[in-house]
Structure 1
Amino acid sequence: MNIDFSYDEILFLEGESGIVGITRIEQENKMLFIATQDNEEIVQFLEKDDIIAVSNFRKDKRAIRAQAYLTREEDSPIVILNKNHPSTKRLAQVLSVGEKVNLNCNITPGTHPEQDVLCSCDSLSGLSITKTPTGVKLNRNPENYTIERF
Structure 2
Amino acid sequence: MNIDFKNEEILFLEGETGTVGLIKVAYENKMLFIATQDNEEIVQFLESDDIIAVSNFKKDKRAIRSQAYLSREESSPIVILNKDHPSTKRLETVLSIGEKVNLNCNITPGTHPEQDVLCSCDSLSGLEISKTPTGVKLNKNFDKFTIEKF
Would the TM-score normalized by the shorter structure come out above 0.5? yes
1:91 aligned residue:
91
Superimposed CA distance per residue, residues 35-82 of structure 1 (whole angstroms, 9 cap, x where no aligned partner):
011100000000020000000000000000000000000000000000
> Which stretch shifts more, 136-145 or 118-127?
136-145
1:29 deviates by 2.5
Matches within 5 A, 1:1-150: 1-150=1-150
With the length of structure 2 as denominator, give the TM-score of the two structures. 0.98
Structure 1 position 143, deviation (Å)? 4.5
AA aligned to 1:70 is L
- Distance in 2 between the 1:18 and 1:29 partners? 30
- Counterpart-to-counterpart distance in 2, 1:38 and 1:142: 38
**Residue 22 of structure 1 contacts residue 54 of structure 1 at CA under 8 Å; is this kept in 2?**
yes
Given that residues 27 and 47 in structure 1 are in contact (C-alpha distance below 8 angstroms), is that contact kept between their aligned partners in structure 2?
A: no
Q: Amino acid of the residue matched to residue 19 of structure 1?
A: T
Tell me, in whole angstroms, the C-alpha distance in 2 between the residues paired with 1:93 and 1:26. Answer: 21
SS state at 1:87 partner: helix
Deviations 1:61-111 (A, max 9, x none): 000000000000000000000000000000011000000000000000000
Does the residue aligned with 1:45 lie in a helix, a strand or coil?
A: strand
Q: Which amino acid aligns with 1:37?
A: Q
* Contact 1:15–1:143 (Cα < 8 Å) also in 2: no
Using the alignment, how far apart are the partners of 1:143 and 1:10 within structure 2? 16
1:28 to partner: Cα distance? 3.2
1:124·1:142 contact (CA, 8 Å) conserved in 2? Answer: no
Residue type of the alignment partner of 1:131: K
CA distance in 1, matches of 2:28, 2:45: 9
- How far is 1:113 from its partner? 0.1
User: Cα RMSD between the aligned structures?
Assistant: 0.7
Percentage identity across aligned positions?
A: 81
CA–CA distance in structure 2, aligned partners of residues 95 and 149 of structure 1: 19
Which amino acid is the alignment partner of residue 47 of structure 2? E
Moved over 4 A (4+): none
**Gapped runs of 5+ residues in structure 1?**
none
Number of corresponding residues: 150
Structure 2: segments with no counterpart, 5+ residues: none
